[in-house]
Structure 1
């Protein structure tokens, strides 16, 4: 495995974690959104992660060398969770029974996801730095 493939895998991991962070931030920002552009409560999103699909060139090349692939975002889709109904008759979006439909977002679990994505991003940064250090040390072998 070359240093470049290590960097590529870590870079794709950092990209996936950045998308996870953005999605969690979007969910947290809309925790009290009762009406979106479609008139319905905000639907929380989830990120589906899978293995990066190689290009045709990469798959042809993998015949001759071992090919490692990093993660990629396969889909960002709504969770399908039903909105939670809260009794607030004074709210402008309340129905005839005084219930308001809020998105079913648990801020605590979203914060856990946020921390997990942050730690995974940091781990990928450390892997990039380690690969960079190893490459520099390898260049120093012939010196002196």
Structure 2
């Protein structure tokens, strides 16, 4: 794998982790969203990563991408609160199924993966610069 391929792989990882961070931010922003029905309640979303192959004949890896962002199947939290303006006819409100602690852990993981990709790009750049300096 050439150093230019390292830059390509790291670049795709940066894009994928950026989408992951945006998805986590959206989940955290909607963690306390309230709805009057289970169908309308916000459900957390998670990105699905897939490998991108550059050449199908020799399976050379070209990076990673987000193939889709899926909505989780977990049920929203149902809470009895008849005085709430969004309560249904039975007095229940529905909160999103976002687990704020899990989302914070996911955010830390995505942030560190992003930082690792930046470091890989910096290292590849330094090696390329040193290679150019050898030729002088």
TM-score (norm 2): 0.90
Query: What does 1:56-67 align with in structure 2 at a 5 Å threshold?
Result: 58-59=55-56, 67=60
Q: Which moved more, 1:81-90 or 1:100-109?
A: 81-90
In the alignment, which of 63, 70, 89 is matched to residue 63 of structure 2? 70
Distance 2:53 2:24 in 1: 25
TM-score (norm 1): 0.85
Paired position in structure 2 for 1:121: 114
Q: Check 1:53–1:138 CA distance in 2 against 1; reply closer, same or farther (3 A cut).
A: closer
Paired position in structure 1 for 2:50: 50
Q: Check 1:9–1:103 CA distance in 2 against 1; reply closer, same or farther (3 A cut).
A: same
Residues 27 and 98 in structure 2, CA contact (< 8 A), matched pair in contact too: yes
Query: What does 1:18-29 align with in structure 2 at a 5 Å threshold?
Result: 18-29=18-29
* The structure with more strand, counted as a fraction of residues: 2
Paired position in structure 2 for 1:6: 6
Distance 1:119 1:136 in 2: 26
Paired position in structure 1 for 2:134: 141
Unpaired stretches in structure 2, ≥5 consecutive residues: none
Unpaired stretches in structure 1, ≥5 consecutive residues: none
Number of residues paired by the alignment? 134
> After TM superposition, what 4+ stretches of structure 1 lie above 4 angstroms from structure 2?
none
